[in-house]
Chains A and B, each alone.
Chain A
Amino acid sequence: QVQLVESGGGVVQPGRSLRLSCVASGYTFNRYALNWIRQTPGRGLEWLAAISVDGTATNYADSVKGRFTISRDNSKNTLYFQMDRLTVDDTAVYFCARDFGFWGQGTLVIVSS
């Protein structure tokens, strides 16, 4: 069965960086685009980024464009999310998702001094 498992969340100071990972299993990884989505109690669900099957095409929400980078390693069945210049507003649970039909369990990122 399809499984997505995120990791890499934690507590980080404003202005610092964090890299999230999402390991996929149960399907042919390089046949599907992938997304990062985050959720906060105040702002709800927010799509952040998407990447094509081969990693050559990406899209970003304006809120993270230029600060966050989505990438993938098809040889490792892994999706990444490099988050730079973090702010307190980036505090959220971060999910990876395959075509919105399959989601990971989420990883919590807290940006705080």
Chain B
Amino acid sequence: DIQMTQAPSSLSASVGDRVTITCRSSLPIGNALAWFQQKPGKAPQRLIYTASNLQAGAPSRFSGSGSGTEFTLTITGLQPEDFATYFCLQHSRYPPTFGGGTTVDI
């Protein structure tokens, strides 16, 4: 299975900050990577698909980059509603695998 290593596991930030989260895959996955936001008690919501495409309805302060084995989610201008947990997912090959998550708090 492809392992997804996500870092950091948690971070503290302030409103207005620029936040960067990374995911590294154990094998090349092209651009078959998605980023999700999850709030307590809710289902994950996709923010980014195919590494860099913004999901319809997601705020433009979210952006994704990378290909191969290194990927980044950037939040430019953190908003109060962005305090949540973020996950990456590779769907290049079965089984799809998730990163361990990054909790962004104040």
Chain A: residues with CB nearer than 8 A to chain B? 35, 44-47, 50, 59, 61-62, 95, 100-101, 103-106
In the complex, chain B residues 68-106 whose Cβ is within 8 Å of any chain A Cβ: 87, 89, 91, 94-98, 100-101
Is B26's beta carbon under 8 Å from chain A?
A: no
Do residues A103 and B49 form an inter-chain contact, with CB atoms below 8 A? no
Residues of A contacting B: mostly: strand
Nearest chain A residue, comparing its CB with the CB of B6: A44
A101 with B49, Cβ < 8 A, contacts A59-B94, A59-B95 known? yes
Is B46's beta carbon under 8 Å from chain A?
A: yes
Minimal beta-carbon separation of A8 from chain B (angstroms) = 16
Is B8's beta carbon under 8 Å from chain A?
A: no
Residues of A within 8 Å of B20, CB to CB, are none
Bound state CA distance, A45 and B96, in angstroms?
A: 10
Residues of A within 8 Å of B55, CB to CB, are 101
Residues of A within 8 Å of B96, CB to CB, are 35, 47, 100
Do residues A46 and B94 form an inter-chain contact, with CB atoms below 8 A? no
Residues of A within 8 Å of B97, CB to CB, are 47
Residues of B within 8 Å of A44, CB to CB, are 87, 98, 100-101
Do residues B43 and A105 form an inter-chain contact, with CB atoms below 8 A? yes
* Chain A CB within 10 A, most for which of B43, B44, B94, B100: B43
Do residues A103 and B44 form an inter-chain contact, with CB atoms below 8 A? yes
Minimal beta-carbon separation of A27 from chain B (angstroms) = 14
Bound state CA distance, A42 and B49, in angstroms?
A: 26
Of A47, A50, A105, which contacts B98 at CB under 8 A? A47
